[in-house]
Amino acid sequence: MVDREKIKKAVRLFLEGIGEDPDREGLRETPERIARMWEEFESMRNFDMKIFEEFGSYNEMVLVKDIRFYSFCEHHLLPFFGKVHIAYIPDGVICGLSKLVRSVRSFALRPQVQERLTEEIADFLEKELKPQGVGVVIEAEHLCMSIRGAMSPGHITVTSALRGAFLKDMRTREEFLKLVKG
Ligand SMILES: [Zn+2]
């Protein structure tokens, strides 16, 4: 559970720590705003993933490209954001696009690292869909890198997680990666 009072105290202290006056006009509501924002994030994490359609004997690759996401680097609490590409080979069960989007969001809206986000989405879909295989690729820009000039702005980090057929079958993997790039 998000503790609104703790967040408010912490943000106020943080603002003082960087030499700001937390009581000046623009900042006065900031602790409350940030607390409410994290409450909202928390509520977006809870969704019902259990509604699945049976889809007969369809067993070709399902690919959903370019799911936009926003997350927070857990080292700096600054956003990293970009696109998630998800593919799976069903084994009797598929899920709607909105479920994929929500599952991405539920793992993204918390302090994260891109590698773990990629793995968590893959593990979750593997558990829920029990597909023949699943592949997740994330392309993201990290503000903590772009702002500080450690990397050129717009630098994209790519991570991937492969399960089942995507791991074992080279042709499946290559098809997936080609579709993602194309
Ligand atoms: Zn960072």
Give pLDDT tens digits for 46-92. Answer: 776 655 566 566 788 999 999 999 999 999 999 999 999 999 999 88
- How far away, in angstroms, is 54 Cα from ligand 1 center? 41
Same domain, 27 and 114: no
Ligand 1 centre distance from Cα of residue 141 (Å): 10
Residues 146 and 63 in one domain: yes
Tally the domains of the chain: 2
**8 A C-beta contact, residue 133 and residue 172:** yes
Q: 80 with 115, same domain?
A: yes
- 19 CA → ligand 1 middle, Å: 22
Mutual orientation of helices 30-45 and 4-17 as an angle, nearest 10°?
130
Residue 12 · residue 35 · CB < 8 Å: no
Angle in degrees, CA 143, 125, 104, rounded to 5: 25
The verdict on whether 155 is a catalytic residue reads no
- Cβ-in-10-Å burial (0-12, 13-18, 19+) of 6 comes to exposed
What is the 2 CA–ligand 1 centroid distance (Å)?
A: 22
Which is the catalytic residue, given 20, 39, 76, 141? 76
- CATH code of residue 30: 1.10.286.10
Q: Is the overall model pTM greater than 0.85, yes or no?
A: yes
Domain hosting residue 157, numbered range: 53-181
pLDDT digit string, tens, across residues 81-101: 999 999 999 988 888 888 899
Please tell me whether residues 59 and 146 are part of one structural domain. Answer: yes
Do residue 62 and residue 30 come from a single domain?
no
pLDDT in tens, 117-156: 999 999 999 999 999 999 999 999 999 988 886 666 778 9
Active site residue 85: no
Q: Do residue 106 and residue 62 come from a single domain?
A: yes
Output the domain CATH number for residue 109.
3.30.1130.10
Nearest C-alpha neighbor of 73 from the set 6, 148, 136: 148
